[in-house]
A and B are shown apart, each in its own frame.
Chain A
Amino acid sequence: MSRIAELFARKNPVFIGFAVAGDPDGETSLRVAKTMIDAGVDLLEVAVPYADPVADGPMIERAHVRALEAGTTPDAVFALVRQVREYAPDLPIVLFTYYNIIYRRGADRFFADAAAAGADGVLIVDLPVEESDEAAPAARRHGIDRIALIAPTTSPERRRAILRDASGFVYLISLEGVTGERDRLSPDIAGLVGAVREGTALPLAVGFGISSPEHVRAVVAAGADGVIVGSALVRLVEERLGDEAGMHDALRTAIGAMLRVLVPEREPDIPGRESIEG
């Protein structure tokens, strides 16, 4: 059983944290990943920095820019994944990437490198099912789950085609728009979760716009198997670029608050508290 399947079989709902590899630089980024893991993130989504991230809002785009300015190449991302894998042998890791990074490297080589580094899945944000003839078999060859995206605007016919091709888990986009924090969530997440549930046995995780414990509660109440938080964590990195200790504290606190909503009984395990208590 893959690490992703094993996680969802063991735990429900799961908490998925997102970070841009190399934001704000390689070493800090590794420490950020470790803090997120220590704070209780169940699955880590690691973005490969890209200069033209059209699906992302300004917050995550700025993280891409910081990472690129720090010289974060795809090779550096794989090195980071390798280090995270050593730190957390059982943690599922999903790479979040734009397709030209894969196309340029060659799909076979990209997925081979991803597998060798210890990644479990790859989510290609600008590769719809119609264009995945090359990436899909390469991912399969190297045992990498290709995480499918479904949006509120995806028609039932497209949903079927996407789900035929999906593995690992399915990423449901909560709203029409780009990544980024929102005051309010889309009202019909339950409808989306229900509709997709009919077409697949894969776990369903909801992302885009989820930025507070209240949002997390709403997504879980909507029946999702996992919740993905990105911009809200990236913001904590951005706001504390000159204060790394503060950055880690803020991440621990924010993740802890969202985890408490997710699974209240897990509260004693929140590592953020250990540093205070012990």
Chain B
Amino acid sequence: MKAGRYGVYGGQYMPETLMSALIELEETYRRISADPEFSRRLDWYLREYAGRETPLTYCTNISRELGCRVYLKREDLLHGGAHKLNNTLGQALMAKFMGKRRLIAETGAGQHGVATAIAGAALGLPVDVYMGEVDTRRQALNAFRMELLGARVIPVASGTRTLKDAINAAMRDWVTNLGSTHYLLGSCVGPHPFPRIVRDFQSVIGEEARRQVLEREGRLPDTVVACVGGGSNAIGIFSPFVDDDVALVGVEAGGAGLDTPRHGASLSAGSVGVFQGALSYLLQDADGQALETHSVAAGLDHPSVGPEHAMLKDTGRVRYEAVTDAEALAAFRYLSRAEGIIPALESAHAVAYALRSAGDLDRDGILVVNLSGRGDKDVADVAQIRGGAA
């Protein structure tokens, strides 16, 4: 396998101007991976600042109803309310070790932007966040939250004015300011070494979950489920289980249904293509232009997916399923009532698949669902969708 490749996927499809920065990043990452001082400091931030480890919660009520043993990995309890901070703290610290003086990031729903703003504030690095103009309106509260945390939000008015255009804009900023700036990419997408770096920083989720479930149950789970947009929370929880006899299921945004054009399921319904620096599955037209996507969960509303997921799909090691907006909304309400936990709409996709598939397991079967974020950010939207009634 070539460096930076997952099977045939991945690579570095980037303008020449950026290649030196990617090479520098690769070298720095190799260096800090072996640096005990880096590990010690990251460990401190994750534990003392972010609140790791997060619990693996046994869900009594759901388990009784579904007839198997259901655990939630509680990334919703991480500081900032989602798994995103695992990656932003790691990369922000790495930027410090590289001598960079400024962070830039893209954000769709705003979660990664908020997590970058938090990491920048904690580590004393100024942060500029690119956000599609449409998203700055849809997610005005998160835009304000970023500003409160000291970041500058830069609305992007080009293209479809959403996440993919925010990534394009951040790339352009990076090309122009390579010496001073680290581009803190938020998911396991983009050119090598980003997919690898993001996976490694998110793998703490799976490492903890594996240890916790072994302590609790004395054995590994039967199934691990996570939602997949770009795929960072999923690759984070899957990675430490890949060599185990554990079923892994990634759940994509089925939107209005895979028989319509309104979804974000690049693995289930896309084809292979190069997008924003990597070869992976992509929702594209016959000429290779990325299509507009849709999901009720803004964090899953993206035309492509991390290249490692593309490989895991082809090898069959991970099964990828799609859940519709309606199923995700039902799961959002269900988990809120059944366990008193409001999940992010993204995470609700994983919950919805668990509800759909629980019948496959017997009473002793163990199901771990990655609850990648909390749903406070979605409450207003869901209220609107339901016409105000809970």
Chain A interface residues toward B at CB < 8 A: 50-55, 57-58, 61-62, 65, 68, 73-74, 99-101, 103-105, 125-128, 130-131, 149-155, 158, 162, 173, 176-178
Flag the segment in B117-125, B280-288, B342-350 that touches A.
B280-288
Does residue B277 face the partner (Cβ distance < 8 Å to A)? yes
State the main secondary structure of chain B at its contact with A.
mixed
User: In the complex, which residues of chain A have a beta carbon less than 8 angstroms from the beta carbon of B178?
Assistant: 153, 176
Chain A neighbourhood of B15, CB < 8 A? 54-55, 125-126, 149, 151
Q: Is the CB of A153 within 8 A of B17?
A: yes
Q: Which 4 pairs between the two chains have the least Cβ-Cβ distance?
A: A104-B288, A153-B20, A55-B15, A177-B176
A52 near B164 (CB under 8 angstroms)?
A: yes
Give the residues in chain B near A103, CB-CB below 8 Å: 273-274, 279, 288
Is B275 interfacial (CB-CB < 8 Å)? yes
Inter-subunit contact A99/B172 (CB<8 Å): no
Residues of B within 8 Å of A127, CB to CB, are 13
* Contact A151–B288 (Cβ < 8 Å): no
For residue B276, which residues in chain A have a CB less than 8 angstroms away from its CB? 52, 54
Also in contact, A61 and B17, with CB within 8 A (given A68-B289, A100-B274): no
The yes or no answer to B226 lying at the interface (CB within 8 A) is no
Give chain B residues whose Cβ lies under 8 Å from the Cβ of A151.
15-17, 19-20
What are 12 A-to-B residue pairs whose CB atoms are below 8 Å? A50-B289, A53-B168, A54-B168, A57-B172, A65-B159, A104-B273, A104-B284, A126-B13, A128-B19, A153-B16, A176-B175, A177-B175
B19 contacts A153, C-beta separation under 8 Å = yes
With a cutoff of 8 Å between Cβ atoms, the chain A residues found around residue B57 in the complex are none
**A101 & B287 in contact (Cβ 8 Å cutoff):** yes
> Of B16, B164, B171, B275, which one neighbours A149 at CB under 8 angstroms?
B16
A61 touches B14 (CB 8 A): no
CB-nearest residue of chain B relative to A153? B20
Question: Do A100 and B273 have beta carbons less than 8 Å apart?
Answer: yes
Contact of B20 (CB < 8 Å), options: A57, A154, A162: A154
Q: B interface, how many residues as a size bin?
A: 35 or more
Taken together as a complex, chains A and B put the C-alpha atoms of A164 and B111 apart, in Å, by: 45
Roughly how many angstroms separate A273 CA and B17 CA in the complex, as a whole number?
39
Other than the given A50-B289, A68-B289, 4 more pairs (CB < 8 A) read A51-B159, A99-B13, A149-B16, A153-B178
Give the nearest-CB partner of A76 in chain B.
B287
Does residue B246 face the partner (Cβ distance < 8 Å to A)?
no
Interface residue? B258 (CB, 8 A): no
Task: Mark out the residues of chain B between 7 and 21 whose CB falls within 8 Å of any chain A CB in the assembled complex.
Answer: 11-17, 19-21
Chain A hits for B16, CB < 8 A: 128, 149-151, 153-154, 162, 173
A75 nearest in chain B by CB position = B287
Q: Which of B242-289 contact A (CB under 8 A)?
A: 273-277, 279, 282, 284, 286-289
Q: How far is the CB of B156 from chain A (nearest CB, A)?
A: 10
Q: Tell me whether B357 is interfacial, beta carbon within 8 Å.
A: no
Measured between beta carbons, the chain B residues less than 8 angstroms from A130 are 11-12
User: What chain A residues lie within 8 Å of B165 (beta carbons)?
Assistant: 52
| B158: chain A residues within 8 A (beta carbon) | 58, 61-62, 65
Q: Which residues of B contact A128 (CB under 8 A)?
A: 12-14, 16, 19
Q: How far is the CA of A50 from the CA of B171 in the complex (A)?
A: 16
Most chain A CB within a 10 A radius of its CB, from B14, B19, B288: B288
Determine the chain B residues whose CB is within 8 A of the CB of A178 once the complex forms: 172, 175-176
Roughly how many angstroms separate A135 CA and B335 CA in the complex, as a whole number?
50
Q: Is the CB of B21 within 8 A of A100?
A: no
- B17 touches which one: A99, A105, A155, A176 (CB < 8 A)? A176
Q: Are B164 and A55 in contact (CB under 8 A)?
A: no
What residue of chain B has the Cβ atom nearest to residue A77's Cβ?
A: B287
B363 CB to nearest A CB, Å: 49
With both beta carbons as reference points, the residue of chain A lying nearest to B170 in the complex is identified as: A54
- Let me know if B330 is at the binding interface, CB within 8 A: no
When C-beta atoms are compared, the residue in chain B nearest to A149 turns out to be: B16
Hey, which chain A residues are within 8 Å of B275, CB to CB?
52, 100
Q: For the complex, is B290 an interface residue (Cβ under 8 Å from A)?
A: yes
By a CB distance below 8 angstroms, the chain B residues around A131 are: 11-13
- Contact at A52–B19, with CB atoms within 8 Å? no
Which of B15, B177, B178 has most chain A Cβ within 10 Å? B15
Nearest neighbor of A103 in chain B, beta-carbon distance: B274
Determine the chain B residues whose CB is within 8 A of the CB of A150 once the complex forms. Answer: 16
Q: How far is the CA of A162 from the CA of B17 in the complex (A)?
A: 13
Nearest chain B CB to A132 CB, angstrom units:
10
A177: chain B residues within 8 A (beta carbon): 17, 172, 175-176
CB of A20 to closest CB in B, whole Å: 14
State in angstroms the CA–CA spacing of A61 and B159 once bound together.
8
Q: Which residues of A contact B274 (CB under 8 A)?
A: 99-100, 103, 126
Chain A residue contacts of B21, Cβ below 8 A? 153
Instruction: Tell me which of B11, B276, B289 has the highest count of chain A C-beta atoms within 10 A of its own C-beta.
Output: B289
User: Closest chain B residue to A64 by CB distance?
Assistant: B159
Cβ contacts under 8 Å, A162 to chain B: 16
Residues of B within 8 A of A65 (CB): 158-159
A158 to B17, CA, bound (A): 12
Q: Which residue of B lies closest to A162 (CB)?
A: B16
Chain A residues within 8 Å of B277, by CB: 126
Separation in Å of the B211 CB from the closest CB of chain A?
Answer: 38
B159 near A54: Cβ-Cβ < 8 Å:
no
